[in-house]
């Protein structure tokens, strides 16, 4: 229907409405006469939506089992059938029970019943509501006794107002959907617009409301209440129709716009081609590069190089290999953020808050980071700084780097140099090579889009070297604040200023880092965590992260503090928390399996439940090795601190001899020889039999023989074990020691004091012996690490002897 015909229909409807509203009360006689309605009738169920008295509409039902019903209706004089709404049948072929029928339905007259293809179709003319009073037959064909409810009298003014409102809503629906026009004409052929009751039913039948809402209208006999409900449904229908119209207009507008743009673009191409002004790909590339560079602030040398390369690009043929090389070069050169810097956030309180938010423990490291940021705040900039975070795996080195970037408000870029063997990864390839690319630092600036990001170089202690070059040597220029102001990438071949970049490196140990490279870094040590720190990390960070990753709520899976402590002490004693996270993840996975099997039963994991989740504990609570010839030492490894029991035993007394086992390195073997010589020569002073070692074959063993061990710090421990068997006296229990021993009995300093103290606390050892020269290292430890410890500092082995065996050594020396 076009717009002119639609407007004519609306005008005709408005004239008809005006004519009918102006009629007197006698106009009601034009309505369908309702006499001769039977008190008993057959009923038929419909499932989509109820039928209304004002409707004339085809109805189709299955021939089986409703053919008999329609046949009996056709045999009656009045040919009247009751239609009742049955909501949501599970199966369209199922015969509903009588209890599923709605009480109020619509009496209809059946016209033109026809059978075709297992279906029966007829025209239903709605007559009047009925209410089922009694069921006379409860299986098809259903037969009921009915009554016809009468509408109470309503105020004429209100009735007229509602009538006009419904007519207005119908007119509005006709404007948005002309398909309703035929239904309106059909209605006007049978009723007048002032026939309020049929008008309300007709308005409800025009809507697409759900069957339950329409049945609610059919159930409402009082006319004003019914008209209120119909108006609400029609307002919803108007809104849906309006939205549908807007969507159609928007879609048509987009389609027309795209078609118009397509034709215009094709015409423009033809015109440009005819006039010879069309741009080729080369010109488009040149303009794009020029546009990028105009938005940057490059140094004069970079701008000059760019102009030269751009001019070369414009004279090269697109098919030549040199064109692709030059184009790629300009692409990289214009993506480096020349002169683009982010604003630093110099807020120490916020920095401390971010560090505390992301990490539990590590107070000394946080203080060191805050001091570093404070220095930059005082200067007004953070530049020329290279931090090196050293510590065992899993202690949070990488995450601290991210926290520093968050605290400064800078972009963060991380790449690992572990196993890197080609210096071109650092300084880029020459442009002459096929597939040449810039180095990692140029890529970091391109990705971060600023010239002052935080760049993290992970695993710098594992960097390699090969015939292709030495990446560690290539880093010397990059990590030198005096040289990286003019860093030269081989690919770009222009000087870059990296002095504004904050470099943060990570390593597990310092031994493998070249000394010239190490000298350029500010070292910050991260030691391992003690049990309480691990517990806090597990509760505040690891477990919440794993639950969120798995989509679980805290109330669904609960791991008690006792269980967490048992996991830490029995399964994950390493310095970091990476293995602890893996074990917690394993518990979460098994917990999810239980939740899927029993969804309503929350999972609670206690300490006794751990073997079912993780197996038997890796570390069992055993009595520490003790007795004559057994001493506990403290060692440092790349995995953190560790305790080491050293055992000495006299094998036989037939000859002198000394045997070492335990896969000891050269330095540790030398320490054992020194301890053996020192104790042998001074045995009389230490109240032992001077001839003991002359006629004894002694065996010194360091347990866990599969693990390689080396270093000088076990000297005093070995000497104490040898002295114990010579004196036939066990040393003091719950005692651990470390220190290098000389032939004259001097106790020299060792490294890794913090890690060794943490290892002792982990094993619940409360009495330590440390070299006097390491007193300062111990004093710098945080108070929570020193709490509950008794520490003796030894300058000479005499001090160690007094603590281990009590009493003082005799004056003088016994030399054999």
Which residues are annotated as catalytic? 713, 756
Of 733, 731, 700, nearest to 623 by C-alpha is 733
User: What is the number of residues in the chain?
Assistant: 816
Strand 40-46, strand 80-85: pairing = parallel
Across-strand partners of 637? 640
Across-strand partners of 657? 697
SS3 sequence, 32-59? CCCCCCCCEEEEEEECCCCCCCCCEEEE
Rounded (10°) CA dihedral 573, 577, 582, 584 = 80
Helix (H, G, I), strand (E, B) or coil at 402: helix
- Find out whether 737 and 713 touch, Cβ atoms under 8 Å: no
d(CA 207, CA 392): 72
Name residues whose C-beta falls within 8 Å of residue 776's C-beta, 6 or more positions apart in sequence.
none
Strand 80-85, strand 56-62: pairing = unpaired
d(CA 454, CA 406): 10
CA 430 to chain centre: 40
Question: First and final CA of the chain: distance in angstroms?
Answer: 125
Strand 454-458, strand 142-147: pairing = unpaired
Quickly list DSSP for 434-482.
Answer: TT----HHHHHHHHH-SSS-EEEEETGGG---BTTB-HHHHHHHHT-TT
Neighbours of 76 (CB within 10 A): 14
- Find out whether 755 and 636 touch, Cβ atoms under 8 Å: yes
d(CA 607, CA 610): 6
Of 259, 256, 265, 200, nearest to 233 by C-alpha is 200
d(CA 151, CA 769): 104
Strand 80-85, strand 412-416: pairing = unpaired
d(CA 769, CA 800): 7
SS3 sequence, 322-368? HHHHHHHHHHHHCCCCCCCCCCCCCCHHHHHHHHHHHCCCCHHHHHH
Whole-number Cα distances in Å, 656 to 254, 406, 680, 743, 815 = 101, 65, 11, 20, 16
Strand 56-62, strand 119-137: pairing = antiparallel
Of 527, 523, 478, 509, nearest to 387 by C-alpha is 523
Whole-number Cα distances in Å, 147 to 103, 112, 783 = 11, 26, 93
Helix (H, G, I), strand (E, B) or coil at 648: strand
Of 645, 674, 687, nearest to 744 by C-alpha is 674
d(CA 691, CA 726): 10
d(CA 22, CA 194): 9
Buried b (16+ CB within 10 A) or exposed e, 532-571: ebbbebbeebbbeebbeeeebeeebbebeeebbbbbbbbb
């Amino acid at each position: 229907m076009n717009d002119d015909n639609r407007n004519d229909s609306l005008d005709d409807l408005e004239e008809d409405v005006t004519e009918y509203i102006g009629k007197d009360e006698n106009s009601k006689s034009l309505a369908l006469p309702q006499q001769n309605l039977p008190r008993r009738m057959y009923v038929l169920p419909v499932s989509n939506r109820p039928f209304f008295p004002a409707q004339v509409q085809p109805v189709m039902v299955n021939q089986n089992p409703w053919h008999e019903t329609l046949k009996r209706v056709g045999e009656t004089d009045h040919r009247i059938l009751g239609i009742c709404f049955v909501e949501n049948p599970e199966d369209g072929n199922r015969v509903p029970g009588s209890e599923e029928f709605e009480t109020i339905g619509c009496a209809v007259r059946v016209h033109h019943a026809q059978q075709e293809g297992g279906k029966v179709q007829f025209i239903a003319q709605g007559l009047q509501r009925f209410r089922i009073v009694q069921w006379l037959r409860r299986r098809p064909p259903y037969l009921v006794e009915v009554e016809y409810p009468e509408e109470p009298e309503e105020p004429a003014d209100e009735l007229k107002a509602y009538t006009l409102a419904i007519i207005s809503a119908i007119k509005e629906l006709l404007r948005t959907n002309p398909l309703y026009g035929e239904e309106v004409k059909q209605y006007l052929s049978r009723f007048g617009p002032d026939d309020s009751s049929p008008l309300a039913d007709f308005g409800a039948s025009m809507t697409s409301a759900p069957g339950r809402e329409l049945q609610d209208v059919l159930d409402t006999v009082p006319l004003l209440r019914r008209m209120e409900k119909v108006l609400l449904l029609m307002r919803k229908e108007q809104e849906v129709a309006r939205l549908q119209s807007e969507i159609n207009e928007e879609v048509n507008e987009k389609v027309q716009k795209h078609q118009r743009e397509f034709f215009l673009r094709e015409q423009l191409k033809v015109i440009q081609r005819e006039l010879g002004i069309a741009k080729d790909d080369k010109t488009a590339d040149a303009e794009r590069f020029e546009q990028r560079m105009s938005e940057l602030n490059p140094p004069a040398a970079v701008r000059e190089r760019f102009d030269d390369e751009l001019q070369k690009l414009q004279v090269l043929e697109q098919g030549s290999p040199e064109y692709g090389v030059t184009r790629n070069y300009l692409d990289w050169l214009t993506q480096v953020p020349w002169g683009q810097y982010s604003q630093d956030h110099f807020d120490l309180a916020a920095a401390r808050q971010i560090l505390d938010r992301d990490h539990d423990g590590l107070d000394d490291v946080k203080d060191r980071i805050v001091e570093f940021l404070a220095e930059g705040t005082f200067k007004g900039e953070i530049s020329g700084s290279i931090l090196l975070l050293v510590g065992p795996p899993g202690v949070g080195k990488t995450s601290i780097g991210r926290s520093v970037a968050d605290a400064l408000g800078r972009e963060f870029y991380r790449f690992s140099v572990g196993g890197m063997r080609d210096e071109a990864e650092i300084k880029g390839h020459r442009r002459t090579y096929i597939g040449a690319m810039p180095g990692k630092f140029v890529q970091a600036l391109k990705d971060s889009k600023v010239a002052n990001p935080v760049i993290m170089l992970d695993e710098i202690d594992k960097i390699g070297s090969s015939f292709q070059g030495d990446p560690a040597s290539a880093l010397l220029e990059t990590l030198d604040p005096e040289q990286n102001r003019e860093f030269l990438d081989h690919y770009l071949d222009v000087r870059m200023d990296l002095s504004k970049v904050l470099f943060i490196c990570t390593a597990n140990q310092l031994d493998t880092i070249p000394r010239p490279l190490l000298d350029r870094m500010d070292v910050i040590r991260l030691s391992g965590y003690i049990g309480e720190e691990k517990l806090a990390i597990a509760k505040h960070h690891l477990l919440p992260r794993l639950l969120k990753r798995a989509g679980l709520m805290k109330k669904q899976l609960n791991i008690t503090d006792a269980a967490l402590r048992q996991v830490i002490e029995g399964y994950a004693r390493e310095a970091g928390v990476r293995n602890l996270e893996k074990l917690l993840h394993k518990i979460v996975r098994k917990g999810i399996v239980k939740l899927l099997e029993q969804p309503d039963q929350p999972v609670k994991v206690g300490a006794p439940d751990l073997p079912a989740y993780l197996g038997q504990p890796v570390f069992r609570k055993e009595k520490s090795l003790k007795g004559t010839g057994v001493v506990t030492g403290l060692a440092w490894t790349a995995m953190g601190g560790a305790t080491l029991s050293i055992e000495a035993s006299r094998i036989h007394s037939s000859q002198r001899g000394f045997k070492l086992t335990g896969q000891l390195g050269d330095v540790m073997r030398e320490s054992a020889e020194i301890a053996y010589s020192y104790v042998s020569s001074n045995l009389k002073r230490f109240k032992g039999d001077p001839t003991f070692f002359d006629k004894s074959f002694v065996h010194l063993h360091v347990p866990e023989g599969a693990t390689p061990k080396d270093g000088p710090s076990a000297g005093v421990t070995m000497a104490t074990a040898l002295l114990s068997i010579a004196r036939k006296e066990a040393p003091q229990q719950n005692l651990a020691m470390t220190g290098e021993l000389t032939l004259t009995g001097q106790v020299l300093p060792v490294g890794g004091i913090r890690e060794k103290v943490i290892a002792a606390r982990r094993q619940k050892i409360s009495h330590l012996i440390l070299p006097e020269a390491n007193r300062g290292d111990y004093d710098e430890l945080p108070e929570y690490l020193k709490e509950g410890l008794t520490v003796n500092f030894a300058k000479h082995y005499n001090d160690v002897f007094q603590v281990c065996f009590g009493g003082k050594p005799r004056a003088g020396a016994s030399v054999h």
